[in-house]
């Protein structure tokens, strides 16, 4: 449904601005007049493409619009500030809509406002947009509405989102340079083997002598890559597609998640990342008033691992039977003993939320330091591999030349 941005006059003759969704400009004007507002200007801001409508009627830029994590965190913090200042929810949404620069975000906020005006709760309105608002977001808002502390919950949500964005940004920054070096190095080697080497080794064809084994191997690899590089590319793409489809199956997902936890070096990092997500998410939900069992149901999807999710499922069953959270987690090999002990201390002292936050902080720091150490080791390793590959090419080319030189002498 199209969304229109309007400027109008109210009953007192004052200028008002806002956003309204309607089937057409005529319907939008009728709805505004029905509320006692007289529209002056009406402009469509964003509309979703209808089925059967030609794609040429949709702006190309709108096809790639999305709401980023940073935009969502900023909007959440602004909403918490407005609510904390005593501004009503609908009025706060009006303020956010008027200053939103992302057309998709503006449209979503307008739909949320309309849903609230129809009598729905904020959490219920957010649940209509599952691609934008996660389950943890919706459940924390629901708990905030039930406890009457929506502004505080939104502030925690903003902090949670900003922290996740910062952690994700540090990881991407740490991996960006090694990935760039790998790409450039691979392209250079491909260029050397497929274009430079054939031109140089062409002089060996008229030689009436047996070429050294390294030279023959280099020529064979060069001819194969030059003629059949597209087969390797198709095979690589096919392998990636097959692996992606396999991971979507229950058995494939289980094997992939088990591999992620058991692989040397990376397995430890993946386990610590799962622990940091577990602690950060469960702590935020518990502090916002979400019941423990409901929070664990959300957390099992956040950890992004089937094996750890099974441990959480077992923990929920034992909690329903009257046991503590730390007891079933202690029997799992995937939950480190330090994390289990901190959870046990938190349950006994009534400071579980603080202990979960400390668990998240500890494992986030350890994960970041290990990733930084691994990436710092990747750089010299890739340089060494590149050097060995180039050295092999040079030696393979020089060996026949040395043999020719000896024959001349």
Please answer whether residues 72 and 104 qualify as being in contact, where contact means their C-beta atoms are separated by less than 8 angstroms: no
Note the pLDDT of residue 46. Answer: 53
The pLDDT of 288-311, averaged and rounded, is 86
In the chain, where the domains are located: 3-50+57-63, 177-409
CA 181/CA 384 separation, integer angstroms: 12
CA 164/CA 304 separation, integer angstroms: 15
> pLDDT per residue over 329-382, tens digit each?
999 889 999 999 999 999 999 899 999 999 999 998 898 888 888 888 888 888
Q: Is the pLDDT of residue 199 over 90?
A: no
Nearest CA to 158 among 140, 131, 173, 142? 140
Tell me the CATH number for domain 177-409.
Answer: 1.20.81.30
CA 126/CA 116 separation, integer angstroms: 10
> pLDDT per residue over 46-76, tens digit each?
544 443 333 333 444 444 468 888 888 899 9
């Amino acid at each position: 449904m199209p969304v229109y941005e309007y400027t109008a006059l109210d009953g007192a003759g004052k200028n008002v601005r806002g956003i309204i969704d309607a089937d057409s400009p005529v319907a939008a004007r009728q709805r505004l007049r029905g509320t006692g507002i007289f529209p002056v200007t009406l402009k469509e801001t964003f509309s979703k493409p209808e089925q059967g409508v030609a794609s040429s009627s949709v702006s190309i830029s709108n096809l790639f619009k999305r709401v980023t994590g940073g935009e969502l965190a900023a909007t959440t913090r602004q909403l918490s500030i407005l609510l904390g200042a005593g501004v009503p929810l609908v009025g706060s949404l009006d303020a956010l809509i008027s200053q939103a620069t992302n057309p998709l975000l503006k449209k979503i906020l307008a739909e949320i406002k309309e849903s609230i005006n129809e009598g729905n709760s904020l959490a219920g309105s957010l649940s209509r947009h599952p691609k934008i608002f996660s389950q943890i977001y919706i459940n924390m808002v629901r708990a905030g509405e039930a406890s009457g502390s929506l502004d505080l919950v939104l502030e925690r949500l903003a902090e949670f989102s900003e922290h996740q964005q910062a952690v994700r940004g540090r990881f991407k920054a740490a991996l960006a340079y090694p990935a760039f070096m790998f790409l450039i190095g691979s392209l250079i080697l491909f260029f050397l083997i497929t274009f430079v080497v054939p031109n140089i080794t062409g002089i060996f064809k008229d030689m009436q002598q047996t070429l050294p084994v390294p030279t023959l191997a280099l020529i064979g690899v060069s001819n194969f890559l030059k003629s059949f590089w597209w087969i390797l590319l198709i095979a690589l793409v096919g392998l990636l597609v097959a692996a992606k489809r396999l991971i979507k199956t229950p058995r494939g997902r289980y094997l992939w998640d088990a591999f992620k936890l058991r692989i040397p070096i990376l397995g430890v990092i993946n386990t610590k990342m799962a622990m940091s997500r577990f602690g950060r998410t469960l702590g935020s939900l518990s502090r916002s008033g979400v019941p423990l069992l409901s929070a664990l149901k959300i957390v099992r999807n956040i950890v992004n691992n089937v094996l750890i999710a099974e441990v959480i499922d077992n923990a929920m069953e034992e909690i329903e039977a009257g046991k503590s959270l730390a007891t079933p987690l202690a029997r799992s090999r995937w939950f480190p003993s330090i994390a289990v002990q901190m959870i046990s201390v938190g349950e006994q002292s009534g400071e579980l939320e603080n202990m979960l936050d400390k668990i998240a902080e500890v494992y986030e720091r350890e994960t970041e330091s290990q990733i930084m150490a691994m990436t710092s080791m990747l750089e010299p390793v890739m340089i060494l591999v590149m050097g060995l590959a180039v050295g092999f090419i040079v030696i393979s080319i020089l060996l026949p030349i040395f043999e020719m030189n000896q024959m001349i002498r």
